[in-house]
C-alpha cells in the first residue's frame, strides 16, 4: 500500500481554501498511484478553532466540507481531521475526529482520546474524549489511527491515565497513523521525532505521522511530518516551515529492505538536553545557539507572512530606532513580506543620538525598504505645553519619558491608519517580562515579532541574520542598548545585565522555578527577588499587549495565564 503524506497550511474557518488544498492533494495522490492520502488534525476547519466550535453553522460547514471531500475520494482512501457531533447525549457535544473517507462515505473513524488542556491548548473545553478504540482495516492493512496527543503519553510520569495505543495494539495493527497539529517551539522538533520513534519501539509497529504547517496568529506549526519504519528509523521526512508531500511505501515500513541501523535521536528519559541543564553557561548556550536561531528565523518569518496573507494585509510599518530590536524586526519583515511592503519610520527626539538615525538609515539602505524621518520634538513640545498647567513645578521624570514613546506610537498608528498598514511591535521578551516598555507607546502594535525572544537571543538572531553578509550595521550590534528617552540613558540604568537577567527570567518563566531554586543555582538573592517582583507586578501591561509569535515552550499570551491582581512574589 502507498500513502501520500500531505503536509498543508490551512486557514481557520476558510473552508473553501482548505477544501481546495485537500482536493489538489487528492488529485496528486491519484496521479502518483497512492492508495491513501493523509491530512493533519482538524484539517477541514484549521487548528485551533477555539470558540468557533460553539457555532452550529461552523460545525455544519465542517460536515459539508467532509461530504464534498468524500465525494471526491472515489477509490482513494482519504484521512481528514474534523470536529464531529457526539452521538452520545452524555458528555460534550463534539469529538475531535480522524475520518477515513472512501467511495463517497465515511469508511472508518477514530476520535481523540487525550485532550491537552495546558499551555496554548484547551481542547477539553470543547471535545469529549474517546471511550472506545477500533483499528480500521483498509486495503489489507490494519490501521491504528490516532490524533496528535494520543501518542505523547509516554515516560515514567504520564499526563493521562489511559493510552489509546495500549488499547489498539491488542487488535494487532500493522501500521500506526497519527494526524497532528503540533506547534513549533525551539525545543520541540527533537522531542517530536523521538516520540514517534519511541512509539514504534514500544509497539513494534511502524508509524506515519502527518503534522500541520503554517501560522495561526501566535502559534506556528512547523510541519516536519515523517514516516518511521518498524526498526525505529525515520524513513521519510518532510520539510519544515513549508507545505510538502511524500509518498510512502507501507510495505517498506513494515518490512524494511535494509538492516536496522543506529538511531540518531536522544532518548527522552535520558534528560541529556541542555534545555534541562541548570548551569548558567549551558542555559545561555542553549538560548543563543546557532541551530536554534536558524529555526527561530524561519518560524518568525512564517508567523509574519501567514498573519498578513490570512488577514488580507499587504503592508507593514514599524518604528526604526537604530537599536537591535527594531533592526531585527525590520530585517525579518522585509524577508517575509518583501522590501517594498515594509515602511520604517525614524522618529528622533532631542535625546536621540546622531548615530541612531544614521544606523537606522544605513539599515534601510542595506535592505532597500522605504523609510521616512519624522522628528517628534514638535509633537512632544505640544504635549508638554498642553500639560504644563498640571506639570508645573514638577521635575522631569517617567511621565515626560513616556510622552516621547507615546508621541511615536501616535505617529506610527496615524500613518498605519492612513495607509492601511499593520504596525509591527518591536518589544522583546526581557522588556515585556520586566515591564520595561510604555503602554500605548512602544508597546503598541498589531503583532509582536520578538515578544518571545529574550534580549540575548535577539542579539544572537541579529548575528545569525548577518552570517551571509552585513544586513544589520555592525554599530547596532555593538552599542549599548538604550531607550534614549533622557540624556545618556542606558537599559542597564533600569535593568540588570541582560545575561544575568535572561537566565533568571528563563528559569522562572520557561522552567517555572521559584526564587529559592533559582538562588540555589548561584543567582544573587536580591537580584532574584527584584527580577521576579518586576515580572509579577507588570502582568497588567502584558494583558493589554498584542499577539506574540510563539517560539519558546512558554510564551506570553494564551499559553501563560497569570492573575493580574495577585500577591505572589510581588
**Annotated catalytic sites, by residue?**
41, 112, 148
Instruction: Tell me whether residue 389 is exposed, middle or buried, using C-beta atoms within 10 angstroms of its C-beta: 0 to 12, 13 to 18, 19 or more.
Output: exposed
The burial class, CB within 10 Å (0-12 / 13-18 / 19+), for 466 is middle
Q: Which residue in the block uniquely carries the three cell numbers 535625546?
A: 351
Q: How far apart are CA 244 and CA 38, in angstroms?
A: 12
Helix, strand, coil shares, percent, the chain, to 5: 40, 20, 40
The three cell numbers of residue 83 are: 470536529
In the DSSP assignment, the letter for residue 131 is -
Under 8 Å between Cβ of 218 and 547: yes
User: Strands across the sheet with 371-373, in order?
Assistant: 371-373, 342-346, 315-319, 421-425, 447-448
From CA 306, how far away is CA 356, in angstroms rounded?
Answer: 31
Give the CA distances from residue 260 to residues 193, 254, 407, 542, 567, in Å, rounded to whole numbers and listed in that order. 17, 12, 65, 51, 56
119, with CB counted inside 10 A (0-12, 13-18, 19+), is middle
Quick count: other Cβ atoms within 10 Å of Cβ 553? 17
Tell me the C-alpha distance between 54 and 49, whole Å.
Answer: 10
User: What distance lies between CA 82 and its chain's CA centroid?
Assistant: 22
SS3 371: strand
Q: Give CA separation, 70 vs 14, 67, 91, 168, 550, in Å.
A: 18, 5, 28, 25, 35
Q: Which residue has the cell 536522544?
A: 266
The contacts of residue 565 (CB under 8 Å, 6+ apart) are: none
- C-beta separation of 302 from 220 below 8 A: yes
Amino acid at each position: 500500500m502507498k500513502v501520500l503524506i500531505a503536509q498543508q497550511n490551512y486557514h481557520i474557518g476558510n473552508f473553501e481554501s482548505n477544501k481546495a488544498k485537500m482536493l489538489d492533494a487528492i488529485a496528486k495522490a491519484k496521479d502518483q498511484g497512492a492508495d491513501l492520502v493523509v491530512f493533519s488534525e482538524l484539517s477541514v476547519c484549521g487548528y485551533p478553532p477555539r470558540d468557533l466550535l460553539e457555532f452550529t453553522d461552523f460545525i455544519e460547514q465542517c460536515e459539508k466540507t467532509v461530504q464534498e471531500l468524500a465525494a471526491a475520494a472515489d477509490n482513494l482512501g482519504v484521512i481528514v481531521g474534523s470536529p464531529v457531533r457526539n452521538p452520545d447525549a452524555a458528555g460534550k457535544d463534539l469529538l475531535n475526529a480522524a475520518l477515513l473517507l472512501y467511495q463517497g462515505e465515511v469508511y472508518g473513524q477514530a476520535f481523540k482520546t487525550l485532550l491537552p488542556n495546558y499551555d496554548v491548548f484547551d481542547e477539553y473545553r470543547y471535545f469529549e474524549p474517546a471511550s472506545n478504540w477500533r483499528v480500521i482495516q483498509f486495503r489489507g492493512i490494519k490501521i491504528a489511527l490516532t490524533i496528535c496527543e494520543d501518542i505523547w503519553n509516554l515516560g515514567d510520569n504520564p499526563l493521562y491515565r489511559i493510552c489509546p495505543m495500549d488499547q489498539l495494539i491488542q487488535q494487532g495493527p500493522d501500521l500506526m497513523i497519527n494526524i497532528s497539529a503540533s506547534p513549533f517551539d525551539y525545543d520541540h522538533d527533537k522531542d517530536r521525532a523521538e516520540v514517534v520513534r519511541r512509539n514504534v519501539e514500544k509497539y513494534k509497529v511502524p508509524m506515519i505521522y502527518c503534522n500541520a504547517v503554517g501560522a495561526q496568529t501566535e502559534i506556528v506549526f512547523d510541519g516536519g511530518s515523517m514516516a518511521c519504519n518498524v526498526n525505529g528509523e525515520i524513513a521519510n521526512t518532510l520539510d519544515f516551515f513549508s507545505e510538502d508531500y511524500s509518498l510512502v511505501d507501507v510495505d517498506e515500513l513494515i518490512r524494511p529492505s535494509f538492516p536496522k541501523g543506529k538511531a540518531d535521536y536522544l532518548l527522552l528519559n535520558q534528560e541529556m538536553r541542555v534545555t534541562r541543564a541548570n548551569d548558567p553557561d549551558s542555559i545561555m548556550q542553549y538560548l543563543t545557539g546557532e541551530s536554534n536561531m536558524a529555526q527561530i528565523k524561519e518560524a518568525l518569518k512564517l508567523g509574519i507572512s501567514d498573519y498578513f496573507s490570512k488577514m488580507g494585509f499587504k503592508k507593514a510599518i514599524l518604528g526604526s530606532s537604530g537599536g537591535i530590536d527594531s533592526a531585527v524586526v525590520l530585517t525579518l519583515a522585509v524577508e517575509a513580506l518583501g522590501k517594498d511592503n515594509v515602511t520604517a519610520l525614524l522618529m528622533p527626539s532631542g535625546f536621540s543620538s546622531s548615530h541612531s538615525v544614521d544606523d537606522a538609515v544605513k539599515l534601510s539602505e542595506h535592505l532597500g525598504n522605504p523609510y521616512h524621518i519624522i522628528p517628534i520634538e514638535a509633537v512632544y513640545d505640544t504635549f508638554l505645553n498642553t500639560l504644563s498647567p498640571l506639570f508645573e513645578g514638577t521635575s522631569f521624570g517617567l511621565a515626560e519619558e513616556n510622552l516621547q514613546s507615546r508621541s511615536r506610537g501616535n505617529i506610527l498608528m496615524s500613518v498605519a491608519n492612513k495607509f492601511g498598514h499593520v504596525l509591527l511591535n518591536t518589544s522583546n521578551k526581557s522588556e515585556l517580562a520586566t515591564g520595561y516598555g510604555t503602554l500605548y507607546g512602544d508597546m503598541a502594535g498589531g503583532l509582536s515579532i520578538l515578544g518571545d525572544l529574550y534580549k540575548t537571543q535577539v542579539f544572537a538572531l541579529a548575528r545569525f541574520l548577518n552570517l551571509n553578509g552585513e544586513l544589520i550595521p555592525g554599530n547596532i550590534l555593538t552599542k549599548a542598548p538604550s531607550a534614549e528617552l533622557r540624556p545618556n540613558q542606558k537599559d542597564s540604568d533600569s535593568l540588570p545585565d541582560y545575561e544575568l537577567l535572561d537566565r533568571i527570567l528563563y528559569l522562572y518563566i520557561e522552567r517555572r522555578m521559584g526564587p529559592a531554586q533559582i538562588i540555589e543555582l548561584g543567582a544573587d538573592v536580591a537580584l532574584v527577588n527584584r527580577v521576579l517582583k518586576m515580572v509579577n507586578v507588570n502582568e497588567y501591561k502584558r494583558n493589554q499587549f498584542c499577539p506574540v509569535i510563539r517560539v519558546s515552550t512558554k510564551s506570553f499570551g494564551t499559553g501563560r495565564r497569570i492573575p493580574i491582581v495577585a500577591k505572589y512574589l510581588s
